[in-house]
Structures are given as structure tokens and as C-alpha cells.
Chain A
């Protein structure tokens, strides 16, 4: 570890290169492995060789956030103030308030930032704004807050643009690539409940003479909601995630019907009732991973769709049992 001497003490000097370990760590976090403890110590870091007039960028202590920022700042001299967000990214921590006014003010005093830099300006990520009251930070520390960019990758352009945010730097995106990065963690989150249901379906399938077909059908339903819906999000109909998921689930039901074939009428009915409901449920869960769903909207969707999902599954099970025993 290299250190930079400042009037407030030694500050660790960090590299902008991401090593194999950093990339592997990010990949593991994407799959939910050790994601809740993937963090760096909070405090002040030096990227490059910053002096008292160089800018101060603020980020969270989720290691992936910290890595993104230091990589974006390659070849520049910037102070990096890392807040204690307990390993949570900027956006989620701002929502919880840990990336917040109180922590920012405390961290400024703890790191002795007043002695390290001569100016009184902090650059914050725009998605940190839900947690930070800029005017309160100013009152408490004398440091003004400028919400710089949404993405760390735009920081160099922001700095070169005379620290002015262009509309593009403020515009959220949710590209196929960005959605794809979220799918692993959706699948991993769905895993415990899925394994439990699949175990029951395997046993029920054996007893009922369906072999593994019900378990595979269910897995497809989960995938339709947790993977296919996120990827096809802009192209699935309506604004409702529950409906989008239901459509993906219907498509899967049809596909599985054509692949597996030879079902009696009650099995067909059961599959077309249950699978879209499962897919719809996981699609609704994806609302938490998107950057544009509101709490009021999700509440409304849940109120309308959860009872329908429950009724559909119950009706499907009754159909299936009726077909076997009546």
C-alpha cells in the first residue's frame, strides 16, 4: 500500500487498475456470493496524486461502487471520500439513508477533509441524492454539494466539461446489458423457494405418473419471470410488471405444451393457470431492481395482482386434482 502525506495525516493511494481479484469479486457479487460483505473501509483515498485544489468525489463502500469510481478516474488526481454504507451501493444506501447527510458530515470531520483540500466542494453521484440534503451538509461543514453524474463512467467527461452536468449524464438508462447483469442475482434470490417447490413437484410427479414434467414446467415459469421478463422488459406489453410476467408465463406455457405434448384437458388448464402466475410473481419482484418503478405503483400492482395470482394457482391445483381423482 502506498500512502500520500497530507496535513490531516496519511491517505492511502489507490490504483485505477482493476486486477483479476477485483473482477472475480464483482462477478461473485453479481451471483450473490458474499454480496452483503463485499466492502472496503470507509475513509479518504487518493486516486493519482491529488493536491489541495483537486476535486473530491464521494461514493459508497460497496467494493463494486468504489472499484467503478476509481477505474473511471484513471489517469487523474482526485480525492475519493468513501462513506460507510455497510457494503451497500449508492442508490440502495441512499434509499435507506446510510448514504446520507449524517454519515457524509461525520466522514468529512473524521477524515479532516478541511485540512486536506482548500476548496469547499464535493462531487456526489446523482443517485445518492435521496439520502443527502445538500443544504444541510453546507450548513454543517461549509462544503457545497454538486450532484455530478449518474454513472461513475461519466465522471471524466464531467470534469473535462468544467464540472457541468450535461443532460446525457443525468439520463438514466436500463439497457439490455444492464438488465442482463441483474438476472443472476434475481435467479439466486429465487433459488431457496424454487428448490422447495421443485422438490415437492418431483415427488408429486413421480406419484402422479408425470415424471419430471411438472418440475421442469415450474422451473420454466420461474425463468420466464426472473430472467426472460427482465431481458424482454421494454418489448412485453403494458406498463405493469405483473402483466408483462404473465405474458412471458403464457408464452412459456404454450412452448412447454408444444414440447411436452399429450396432456389431458385438466393438465393443460392447470399449466396455463399456474405457470403465468409464477412468472408474474417473479416479474413483479423485479420491480425492486429497476431504476424507474415507484412505491405507489408497485403497491397498486401488488394489491391488484397478488390475489389474482393466488386464485390462479389454487384453481390450477384444483383442476389438476380433479382431473386425477374425479
Chain B
């Protein structure tokens, strides 16, 4: 993605290269080209570009990828936080 990058060193993405079978699914699903195939196995080419959508982990047939997946949405997190504390709030940015 040209022209945009989010904070450095925050992504929770982890790849177990030992478990990887080189199926090529992670580079296929990643919208930020975080992965590339190197020597028949996946490698992290741009970890800082990861937005933690979880597509790679969900589609990895051998469970070699781990990421604390979720949506990077401040209003969603505020709504979640308020709901946990039972504080009524109808906001949430329109994504109920």
C-alpha cells in the first residue's frame, strides 16, 4: 500500500517457519504484502505493515501463523470498553 503505514513495532504477528509447508496461501490473502515465499517457505517481508486482520492465520492449513486478530477501530474499542463496564452508549461509529 503506497503512501500509508501505521505505527512501527506493534503488530502481534508471528510466523513459525519450521511448521510452514510453503502452500503460498498467506501471500495470497495478505492485503499488505507482509509475506513472501523464500526457499519454498513463507517469510515475513514487512511485519510493520501488518494490520492484524487475521486472514493469514485463518487460512494457514498447518497453523504456522499466530496473530492477535481484531479490528483497528478506536470507536469500536471505546464502545466495547464502555459495554464491559455496563455504561450505556449508543455510539460506536455505525458498526453495530
User: Chain A, 226-237, contact with B by CB distance < 8 Å: what is the 0/1 string?
Assistant: 000000011000
B53 within 8 A of A: yes
Using a CB-CB cutoff of 8 Å, which residues 155-197 of chain A contact chain B? 165, 167, 170-174, 185, 188-189, 192-193
In whole angstroms, how far apart are the Cα atoms of A11 and B92 in the complex?
Answer: 38
Q: Which B residues are in CB contact (< 8 Å) with A301?
A: 7, 74
Give the interface size class of chain A.
Answer: 35 or more
Report yes or no: A294 in contact with B93, Cβ–Cβ below 8 A.
no
Nearest CB on A from B1, distance (A):
4
Contact call A298/B77, Cβ cutoff below 8 A: yes
Of B32, B72, B73, most A-chain CB atoms within 10 Å: B72
Considering only CB atoms, which chain B residue lies closest to A133 in the complex?
A: B58
Contacts of B68 in A (CB 8 A): 295-296
Most buried by B among A150, A192, A290: A290
Contact residue among B59, B78, B96 (Cβ-Cβ distance under 8 Å from A129): B59
List B contacts of A285 (CB < 8 A): 74-75, 93
Q: Is the C-beta of A202 less than 8 angstroms from some C-beta in chain B?
A: no
The answer to whether A288 touches B74 (Cβ under 8 A) is yes
With A147-B29, A297-B6, A302-B74 known to touch, is A92 a contact of B95 (CB < 8 Å)? yes
CB of A126 closer than 8 Å to a CB of B = yes
Interface flag for A279 (CB, 8 Å): no
Task: Tell whether B91 is near chain A: CB-to-CB under 8 Å.
Answer: yes
From the candidates B1, B50, B73, name the one contacting A288 in the complex (CB within 8 A). B73
Given A130-B58, A297-B7, A302–B28 Cβ distance below 8 Å?
no
A residues less than 8 Å from B90 (CB atoms): 192
Within 8 Å of chain B (Cβ to Cβ): is A134?
yes
Q: Which residues of A contact B59 (CB under 8 A)?
A: 129, 132-135
Q: Is A300 an interface residue (CB 8 A)?
A: yes
Given A234-B4, A287-B74, verify A134-B54 contact (CB < 8 Å): no
Q: Would you give the shortest CB distance from B82 to chain A, in whole angstroms?
A: 13
- Chain B residues close to A by CB (< 8 Å): 1-8, 10-12, 25, 28-29, 31-33, 49-55, 58-59, 61, 68-78, 90-91, 93-96
A sample of 5 inter-chain contacts (CB < 8 A) reads A129-B53, A129-B59, A284-B74, A293-B73, A301-B7
